[in-house]
Amino acid sequence: MTKTYDVSAIGNAIVDVIAFADEAFVQKNGVQKGTMMLIDEQRAHSLYDAMGAGTEVSGGSAANTLAGMASLGAKTAFIGKVFDDELGRIFRHDMRAVGVDFDTPSATSGRSTARCLILVTPDGQRTMNTFIGACNELYESDIDEALIATSRIVYGEGYMWDMDCTKSALRKAFALAKKHGAKVAFTLSDVFCVARSRDEFLALIASDFDILFCNEGELAALYPDLSWEAQLDAVQKSCPLVAVTRGEKGSIILTPSERVTIAPAAVTKVVDTTGAGDLYAAGFLYGLTHGKSLAECGRLGSACAAQIIQHLGARVQQPLKKLVA
């Protein structure tokens, strides 16, 4: 079948509510810096009441990646669930406005559109508190086989592994990808996600994933008993293509036969690291679907990540296309 889409992705459809906070506030509110924590609606209200004035920007890990890819010029489609409310309309608009196809129907019963309360500390680090809301209403029936069949790569996020129904939806998407000859790509998302689903992730890496994204912390959580070098060996043996991001140390790309070290891109001032990994994946997957070498894929990933961390929010504000040149 003709491959219309470079990447289709299944992800949580979330609007981020971002505020600067000091270290004391983060500590006092019992959140662990640099991680993502799931919170219920009551906690979402009390934390929102306590936090500073916010900036609302559409987010969601895989959604951020697709938005970045679309801005680079790729053809992408998103599968995810918003509620039929104001934040849901904002999320849908922001996907379509940047050129991502997004046709999953909105939920009309159940909980409201997901929001992630993000506290950005003076070091630029983000701490995420997610009320998952309507994201939890994504079912296998929402996975459009025609869309998967016409995609080169099908991409999923580790965050979705926290809920049984979204996990089932993702499994269905991966099975359809195999059926229709699409590559399966996945991000481990967060150290806590890895801790919660370690055995399943190890099995998926060994059997289902063609492309894996993770950062150093997530890789260490995957192989808690191994040294850094042994972690790299282990994942290199398990998965055909792995990109490990290392923050200001750049990234490393692994295939069964090679290791490509990527230097970080220049950054003037880190404002907010939210979305750094998502945008690295955007640049990397754009390169991969546009005939670039692995080194070029990595450099484009770094360049996109560098753009996103210099402003608030994880969505591109200015077109990324100039980075391709």
Q: Which two tokens stand for residue 250?
A: 């750049």
8 Å CB contact between 127 and 26: yes
| Radius of gyration, alpha carbons of the chain | 18
Burial, 155: exposed, middle or buried (Cβ in 10 Å; 0-12, 13-18, 19+)?
buried
- What residues pair up with 214 in beta bridges, in sequence order? 244
8 Å CB contact between 222 and 201: yes
Shortest Å, Cβ 292 to a copy of itself: 25
**Cβ closer to a copy of itself: 53 or 325?**
53
Angle of CA points 314, 18, 51, to nearest 5°:
165
Shortest Å, Cβ 73 to a copy of itself: 15
Shortest Å, Cβ 131 to a copy of itself: 13
Nearest to residue 149, comparing CAs of 43, 317, 5? 5
**Cβ closer to a copy of itself: 13 or 148?**
13
Residue ranges binding a copy of itself (CB under 8 A) = 19-20, 48-49, 51-58, 67, 85-87, 90, 93-95, 97-98, 311-313, 315-318
Shortest Å, Cβ 87 to a copy of itself: 6
Shortest Å, Cβ 46 to a copy of itself: 12
Residue count of the chain: 325
**Cβ closer to a copy of itself: 15 or 173?**
15
Placement of tokens 């770094």 in the chain: 302
Amino acid (one-letter) located at 228:
W
CA distance 152 to 7: 6
- Using DSSP's 3-state secondary structure scheme, residue 36 falls into strand
**Cβ closer to a copy of itself: 22 or 145?**
22
Shortest Å, Cβ 195 to a copy of itself: 32
**Cβ closer to a copy of itself: 54 or 264?**
54
**Cβ closer to a copy of itself: 38 or 271?**
271
